[in-house]
Amino acid sequence: MLISSIFIYNEVKEDNKQEKIFEELSNIIETKEETSTKQENVEDEINIEELYNINNDLVGWLKIENTSIDYPVMQTKNRPNYYLRRNFYKEYSIMGTPYIAEQCDLNKSDNLIIYGHHINGNKMFGELEKYKKEAFYKNHSIIKFYTKDELQEYKIISVFKTVAHTGFEYYKYYYFKNESEFNTFIEKCKKLAFYNIEDTASYGDKLITLSTCEYSQENGRLVVIAKKI
């Protein structure tokens, strides 16, 4: 019982530390935003350059308005899953930091796949669980991804669950060989979806995928697919 209590205490302490780090990083980009000399669309301008100078593994900032999803996104092409259990400062963290699959190219990939832990209390990608309900999707259908060069906006077209390794291998699709492969991928995403979304994607559209664990089944995965608009 004592060991269990110590474990829970340490886990909560670690979660709080990671949340504080994310808050500090967010404050840095917000300060850059507030001091911007540009007058138009200031609310949509996040300058991640300062964070990049701290850690150049940073590739972007992920944000879904009116949710807790407001995080840096990392990538280490030569060190797979490096940020699975590391914070922005490369220290051990059970929560990790959202990261893009090492096979993805930020500028060239047809589908950017971003992984994040499913943490209770709407932390990390835990709030993606709410997308199982259509009403939540309708009020949170846009995903924003800020890079050093631009703000990219994506419209959600499918939310589904599957099983890793034995289910739909959505995580293998970074590039599409041809239109047929793309259409087959989209059809599968639509078929598995919790509910019908009228918006879809056409060959040539760029996609972003948010992936996290899903606990109603063993090795479950919860997946949100969106197209660039």
Amino acid (1-letter code) at residue 137: Y
So what's the pLDDT on residue 102? 97
Stretch 156-184: mean pLDDT: 98
**Amino acid symbol at 36:** S
Res 32 pLDDT > 90: no
Contact between 5 and 13 under an 8 Å Cβ cutoff? The reply is no
% of residues, the chain, pLDDT over 70:
86
Q: Decide if 119 contacts 95 (C-beta within 8 A).
A: yes
Is the confidence at residue 56, as pLDDT, over 70?
Answer: yes
pLDDT higher than 50, residue 147: yes
Q: DSSP letter string over 16-79? A: HHHHHHHHHHHHHHHHHHHT----SSGGG----HHHHHH-TTEEEEEE-TTSS-EEEEE--TTS
Report residue 15 as tokens. Answer: 């979660």
Look over the chain and give the mean of its residue pLDDT values, rounded to a whole number. 89
Q: What was the pLDDT predicted at 45?
A: 63
19-28, 127-136, 147-156: which has the minimum mean pLDDT?
19-28
pLDDT for position 23: 84
Mean pLDDT of 50-70: 96
Residue 47 banded pLDDT, cuts 50, 70, 90: confident
pLDDT tens digits, residue range 67-119? 999 999 999 999 999 999 999 999 999 999 999 999 999 999 999 999 999 99
Question: Is the pLDDT confidence value at 26 over 90?
Answer: no
pLDDT at 30 (0 to 100): 67
Instruction: Report pTM.
Output: 0.87
For residue 7, pLDDT over 70 is answered with no
pLDDT value of position 11: 52
Average pLDDT value for residue range 196-214? 98
* Residue (of 89, 96, 103, 92) closest to 24 by Cα position: 89
Q: Which domains does the chain have, with CATH numbers?
A: 2-228 (2.40.260.10)
- Considering only residues 210 and 29, tell me which one the structure prediction assigns the higher pLDDT: 210
| 90 vs 167: CA distance, rounded Å | 32
Residue with tokens 């709407």: 122
Mean pLDDT (whole number) for 209-218: 97
pLDDT of residue 12: 52
